[in-house]
Structure 1
Amino acid sequence: MFQLFKSLFNKRFKSLTLVLWVNTNPDKTETYSFRPIRLFRYYVVSVFLTVFLFAAILYFTPLGSLLFSKQDRLLRHAVTDVSDRVIALQDSLALRDMQLMNIRDVLLNAVDTTFETSTDIYYEPLQSAGTIPHSTTMEVPEFESLTNIDVIYASSYGGSLQFPAMFPLNGTVTRSFDSASRHYGTDIAAPLDSYIRAVADGAVIQSGWGVDYGYSVSVQHSDGYVSVYKHSASIYKVKGDMVLQGDIIGKVGNTGFMSSGPHLHFELWQNGVPQNPARFFNNL
């Protein structure tokens, strides 16, 4: 067959005669005269028309959408995924800006924290029979804006703050504080859903979710200290809540893009400067 086409191509400009006959009846023959160049032209034109017709069917009929619907779905899913990531990043940036503003306000001694104080009176235990107990609290109007957490604690609980004194949870330190690599905290590995406890008395100044660190809580303490708990599976405190040392504020999780496994990323700051937790806890 190849030799036939090669011979026709070599003689494409010549006039050829095609003779057809049946083997069982060689006396009956049919002859046709033609030029091979015309056959090649007809072939090219027919191929072009076939391709054009197929493209027109795909473009002007629903058949095209059926053939390319899978690619369209994949493209739409990719666009939707990128859009969701952009929205999540915007939410994370907004949350981070809010956290920075809260910490700045705390460090400037102007915490805009509102909470409902109890009107109950706290009494000292009786020292001896016949002793009249006396109140050790000051009356604080409800929904008062706090400007000095130390004063509120001293007036409400009648005790001095002792900070820090308690490890946030039982676990294994997997990465220590390292300011050179901008790791301003300590990573503590622990089983999933282990309880995270407040290291000292204080007030919650931030509670929420971010893309990088997942669920996190920040607690303002006395003397300008702020403790931060990140990558939680869930959090039990909201902004404005007052916490005591040892109160459960969340559970260990693996939330946030920067988390590589169930652990707590614990940070300790004082007056806006990151502190090495190992200086305050024997466990570290």
Structure 2
Amino acid sequence: MAKKKKEPKRITRKLLNKYRLVILNEDTFEERISFKLTRLNVFVIVTIGSIFLVGFTTVLIAFTPLREYIPGYSSTALDKKANDLVTTADSLRTVLTINQQYYSAIKQVLEGNVETVEFDIDSALQAQKVNPEQVNLQPSEEDIKLREEVSKEDKYSLFEKEKESAGFSFFPPVKGSVTSSYNLKEKHYAIDVAVEKNTPVKAAAAGTVIFAEWTSETGHVILLKHANDLITVYKHNASLSKEQGEQVKEGEVIAIAGSTGSLTTGPHLHFEIWRDGFPMDPQKFIDFN
């Protein structure tokens, strides 16, 4: 038991025993530097040095560019560039989608294609079958007012009302005689207006030129995109005054009328109006006379 009690004293004594560290000149054995140390001093110095070394290394990695050379760490500049590239890619994807929609609409307009709608005539006729005894033939006050209003309106006022209800109006691109009217059954989605050669063709509304090229069938063609998803088409021109991407104002000259292309019989303007991919009758919105 007495020996066990002496063990802590022996350990303490060993830790506190003083040692002398001497640095000598190898040739002359002259003492240069000497230190008095104990084992406890060495342990404390080594511990403090290790803590300092770990802390310095951590700070060096965390707050200096050296961390970029360590696997697992990424550069802030590289992260920023990567984010910019992702944003640019998303923007390009959006622009590409919009351009594809434009090209699809332009192709549809140039080819004159219109989506057909299935119509069940038997169901329509069956729905129209009603019992005459159940129908009230007495006009309401609203009907009487509407009839009076219609009876007082002439062709011009009706024309203006239709434009107002549609939410837009057009400037006549040319003035002349309509030689061929809009006809869905014959797939003639435009009107042909006879004009003298070299007559200026004007923009029906303010917009952007989305197509201005030559085609073998319709000659010089120019397409304008307007507000409300409207597209106007001008075909068989002798020459074009605007290029794709240009902005035009209402009434601004965009082409010179002519008789170019294989599908023409004389100087005239082939004029179309499209909205959301479907053709519209230009004479309902423009007076060409």
Q: What TM-score comes out, normalization by structure 2 length?
A: 0.43
Greater helix fraction, Structure 1 or Structure 2:
2
Query: Which of structures 1 and 2 has the bigger CA Rg?
Result: 2
